[in-house]
Amino acid sequence: MSASLLDDYHAWSPGSKIELVNGQLIVGDSLVHSRRLLSQILRGWGVEAIAALAPEHLWWEALSHTFGAPMLTSLDGLDAPTVQQWADGIDYQPENPPHHGDWRFSYSQLRQALRMAMFGLGMRYEKLGQSLGGGFVHRLGQHGFMPDVLFFRGDPHNRLYEYYLEGAADVVVEFIQPGCEEYTHTVKKPIYEAAGVPELWIVDAAQCQMELWRLVDGTYQRQTTDAAGRYVVSSVPGLTFLAGKIWLAKDDWDYPLEETWFEVAADAPRLSRLPQMGEGVDWSKALLKFPVALEPVRSLLRTISTGVQKQSLSSSMDDLTLVDEKASRDWQECS
């Protein structure tokens, strides 16, 4: 029962990731989750809280574009009865996550279990590397992601700082929440590929599927397990992932999971504990500003990957885009 409630929470929540992609801050892996965050702010703290995120005239212009609000030349000239009449005529149904109550596998349990299994690999005497879970930033050039699991082995590919890992991790695991599939595959995956992440695993708990992507000659090629459900991890010598076992019912999991979901060869090379390189980016020098502007409605995914403008209007939440014009530049220059 508690797992079901937790998955329902994940279904409704905007997600906890805040990622920097091409100078834009993305909340919760997609615009769907960005809108959901704004919705929660509106429900929890009211109009005053959400209005503070942008100048009032931009909010009103967005409402005019999307819901046909009366055009105003000045907010001082707002006619309350006219506005009330317009608002009463809007038939708006709040968004319901399409996957609500229809999760065939516990997203939260599986994600946490895989995190702990890979963390356990770093604690074994073989010392294959180190692992970090969600909430830790993976810095790849001008981009900053928050993967669900990072497994890394240090120089020459990556360096650990106090608040982030710089450079391509040896294994990255991304769990997909419904509504974020396109963002993960068309935005994040190409960036991981270009950055040289050798192993990218994309897990779709709702579909009970795991995509295993291996970097071969600079290009991701999808891999399969052998007949026994085993997968040799190319970037971690001596490590084999028993991928088929993660789909067993939770009651059939054998603990510790790092010993039942992974095999470590007897001759696997051992590493010493990786030291932190210091704090890293000096945020006191990063003059981050987030000016808000009303732009033509765009599909953020297409804007990032192809630059193709979307032709149809969506909700007013789409119309307002938080753009950090300096973030990606400061992100590069302040390290």
Instruction: Check which CATH number belongs to the domain holding 163 and give it.
Output: 3.90.1570.10
111 near 147, Cβ under 8 Å?
no
**Could you write out the DSSP letters of every residue in 20-34?**
EETTEEEETTSHHHH
Specify if 295 maps to a domain.
Answer: yes
Specify if 270 maps to a domain.
Answer: no
The secondary element (H helix, E strand) that includes residue 332 is helix 327-333
Q: Beginning with the edge strand found earlier in the chain, give each strand of the sheet holding 24-27 in spatial order.
A: 24-27, 18-21, 143-145, 137-140, 164-166, 159-160
The answer to whether residues 239 and 136 belong to one domain is: yes
The answer to whether residues 13 and 160 belong to one domain is: no
The answer to whether residues 239 and 182 belong to one domain is: yes
The answer to whether residues 143 and 222 belong to one domain is: yes
First to last CA, the chain: 46
Phi, psi angle pair for 252, to nearest 5°: -100, 0
- Cα separation, 327 vs 287, whole angstroms: 8
- Cα separation, 173 vs 231, whole angstroms: 15
Q: How many domains does the chain have?
A: 2
pLDDT tens per residue across all 335 residues of the chain: 455 555 556 555 656 678 888 877 777 666 677 777 777 788 788 888 877 777 888 888 888 888 888 877 776 767 788 888 888 888 877 665 555 444 445 778 888 899 999 999 888 766 788 998 877 899 998 899 999 999 999 878 898 888 889 999 999 999 987 778 888 999 999 999 999 999 999 999 888 899 999 999 999 999 999 999 999 999 999 999 999 999 988 888 888 888 899 999 988 888 766 655 555 555 555 545 555 555 543 333 333 333 322 322 233 334 343 434 444 444 444 44
The answer to whether residues 260 and 112 belong to one domain is: yes
Specify if 275 maps to a domain.
Answer: no
Q: In this structure, are strands 164-166 and 137-140 parallel, antiparallel, or unpaired?
A: parallel
196 near 168, Cβ under 8 Å?
yes
Specify if 279 maps to a domain.
Answer: no
The answer to whether residues 124 and 230 belong to one domain is: yes
The answer to whether residues 172 and 295 belong to one domain is: no
Tokens of 132: 């970090």
Q: Which domain holds residue 222?
A: 107-264
316 near 62, Cβ under 8 Å?
yes
- Which residue intervals of 89-212 are DSSP H helices? 107-123, 181-182, 189-195
Specify if 277 maps to a domain.
Answer: no
Q: Which residues pair with 239 in a beta bridge?
A: 264
The answer to whether residues 118 and 213 belong to one domain is: yes
Sign of CA dihedral 253, 257, 263, 266: negative
Measured CA to CA in angstroms, residue 74 lies from 48, 62, 177 at distances of: 19, 15, 42
The answer to whether residues 90 and 134 belong to one domain is: no
The answer to whether residues 259 and 114 belong to one domain is: yes
DSSP 8-state code for residue 291: -
170 near 151, Cβ under 8 Å?
yes
The answer to whether residues 111 and 93 belong to one domain is: no
Specify if 114 maps to a domain.
Answer: yes
The answer to whether residues 80 and 113 belong to one domain is: no
253 near 105, Cβ under 8 Å?
no
165 near 138, Cβ under 8 Å?
yes
- Cα separation, 157 vs 334, whole angstroms: 20
